[in-house]
Amino acid sequence: MSQLPFWTITEAPNTGASAEQMSILYTRYNLARSYAADRNVLEVACGAGVGLGLIAGAAKSVTGGDIDSKNCATARSTYEGRPGIAVRELDAKALPFETGSMGLVILFEAIYYLEDPHDFLLEAARVLDFSGVLLISSVNPQWAGFNPSPFSTRYFPAAELAVLLRAHGFEAEVYAAFQEEEDGPAAAAIHAIKVAAVKLHLIPRTMKGKELLKRIFFGRLTPIPRELSPGIAPIEPLVRIEEAGDLTKYKMIYAVAHRTKQPEELK
């Protein structure tokens, strides 16, 4: 198991978040909820588990798993005693679940932390039933303001993510969202400052460290709750990458992937 302190870069309860950050958080979990109906759901790299309760409102069952024991402890303390929600410490490359036992597997904001996504994708294909869905979200590395996260290994641009999924027996629709606003001199100045800060490696490495910068850029922050509630933030529409135009203007990408091959065909 990893010894990296992933809890330091996790969107944890009571961490201050901008309005856009809350919208990004809620948009991805609302997407998961829309695919969760009557399915057994597994969220790999669930972090502090803030989205598990929202998904559980639609799912048959929800299991959140994370490699960081502190993240797991936070999630367990939120959902202890809640029927249909479980939390397990696990490694993405060796999922402790039976073949075909899940209808939805989620990996949000974490594919870039995996040493090799090949093992995870093989495991995701194995634990999903053949009608199951894999959801992935990631910061868009083509975005002009992209700043790699600490502990990250590799980010996949939208087109490469689709190719990677296809090579592992999935057919994916890939979307972009959260187009950067650059209208007006103030927005343009903020954008220029952020780009310069990224290039000069001035962005703090932890979530707590980033709070001061977010207060400067965005003003008052909202504490992230222990559990997302319906309607807590606006939902951003997803745009298919074929229709998005200039991908350097989009902050986030999403893949909705369906299995096209049996796991044994990929070995």
pLDDT one-digit tens code per residue, 11-57: 999 988 989 999 999 999 999 999 999 999 999 999 999 999 999 99
Q: Which residue has the higher pLDDT, 175 or 6?
A: 175
* pLDDT for res 41: 98
Residue 234 in this model has a pLDDT that exceeds 70: yes
Q: Which CATH superfamily is domain 6-180+220-266 in?
A: Vaccinia Virus protein VP39 (3.40.50.150)
Is the whole-model pTM more than 0.95? no
* pLDDT for res 5: 86
Angle of helix 19-35 relative to helix 207-218, nearest 10 degrees? 120
Rounded to whole angstroms, how far apart are CA atoms 196 and 192? 6
* pLDDT for res 242: 96
pLDDT by residue (tens digit) across 105-122?
Answer: 999 999 999 999 999 999
Residue 239 in this model has a pLDDT that exceeds 70: yes
Check the CA dihedral 250-207-112-30 and report its sign.
negative
Percent pLDDT > 90 in the chain is 74
**Average pLDDT across the chain, whole number:** 89
Q: Which of 48-57, 68-77, 158-167, 209-218 is predicted least confidently?
A: 209-218
Cα dist from 102 to 40, 123, 215, 240, whole Å:
5, 11, 40, 26
Residue 198 in this model has a pLDDT that exceeds 80: no
* pLDDT for res 216: 42
Domain boundaries, the chain: 6-180+220-266
Rounded to whole angstroms, how far apart are CA atoms 55 and 159? 28
* pLDDT for res 182: 64
CA atoms within 13 Å, Cβ hemisphere of 148: 14
Collapsing DSSP to helix, strand or coil, 133 comes out as strand
